[in-house]
Amino acid sequence: MVATSTRTLAAGEIEMCPAGTYVVLEAIDEGPGIDPAIRDRVFEPYFTTKTRGPIKGTGLGLSTVLGIVRTHGGFLEACQVLPHGTKMRIAFPAHEAPQAALEPAVAPGDAPILAGDDRLVLVVDDEPLVRTATATTVRALGYRTLEAESGTQAVEVFATHADGICAVVLDMLMPGSSASEVYAALRSRRADVPVILVTGSSIPHEIDALLDQGVRTWLAKPFAAADFAQVLSSVLR
């Protein structure tokens, strides 16, 4: 069951939210619930209980959700529903929408979008739907794409096509290798490769560390196609 409401919450009623008015989304299932012994770890990157069977977990689903919620100033918690089941509660601060004319996604003063000119972009993301959506956006801008589902595969693909790749779109959180390790491997092949970091988790110190290493810029997931187009154009100028 999924329900939404606008409510006045007390301080700490959902996670560590301050007192105020929130738009609350609740999703409730009727499964076995979350073992209390691991409840504090369910939002931890790479933590998963799905280690057997044909469908194995990456441990990135809930951590990505948490990152997106945090990016939008929200709060998220998981709680047990008796006698069984789990409730996920998300609270976003409520705001009155100003009655103003819509502004274009790209302001008139922004630099023009560069034509793709059939150049090649490598898209790296372990989530198939996200990878496909990002690659589709890149192709719509006039570029060709290569895709990789892991850091290891990204390095292999880049080694084969290094001279022809004009930019890399790199997911920050992937199982098996860190974005820092992947970026270092890419730079060892070609030091001037422009890399755009994309992430659904707001981890400032890790993002800052990658920017210090030479990553050009970063985008928070989910991002608008117009914002992505501006960022891609800026790193290729």
pLDDT digits 0-9 by tens, 135-147: 998 998 899 999 9
* Whole-angstrom distance, CA of residue 229 vs CA of residue 167: 13
The DSSP secondary-structure symbol of 221 reads S
- Would you say residue 102 has pLDDT above 50? no
Average the pLDDT over 111-126 and give the result.
82
Start-to-end CA span in the chain (Å): 48
Percent of the chain with pLDDT over 70: 86
157 confidence band (pLDDT: 50, 70, 90): very high
Average the pLDDT over 2-24 and give the result.
91
Average the pLDDT over 32-60 and give the result.
73
55 confidence band (pLDDT: 50, 70, 90): low
- Would you say residue 177 has pLDDT above 90? no
Give the tokens for residue 228.
């992505």
Average the pLDDT over 159-186 and give the result.
92
Say what the pLDDT of residue 112 is: 60
Neighbour order of strands in the sheet with 75-80: 2-9, 20-28, 86-93, 75-80
Closest listed residue to residue 166, CA positions, set 99, 204, 224, 119: 119
Overall pTM > 0.85: no
Average the pLDDT over 181-202 and give the result.
90
Say what the pLDDT of residue 114 is: 66
> How far apart, in Å, are the Cα atoms of 15 and each of 4, 33, 70, 120?
17, 19, 12, 44
Say what the pLDDT of residue 52 is: 67
Say what the pLDDT of residue 82 is: 63
- Would you say residue 202 has pLDDT above 90? no
- Residue type for 15, please? E
Question: Which domains are assigned to the chain?
Answer: 2-93 (3.30.565.10), 120-236 (3.40.50.2300)
Average the pLDDT over 210-217 and give the result.
91
* Whole-angstrom distance, CA of residue 163 vs CA of residue 140: 22
Closest listed residue to residue 166, CA positions, set 128, 216, 129: 216
Say what the pLDDT of residue 100 is: 47
Say what the pLDDT of residue 173 is: 83
Check residues 231 and 224 and name the one with the higher pLDDT: 231
Given a contact cutoff of 8 angstroms between Cβ atoms, the answer to whether 193 and 186 are in contact is: yes
Say what the pLDDT of residue 196 is: 94
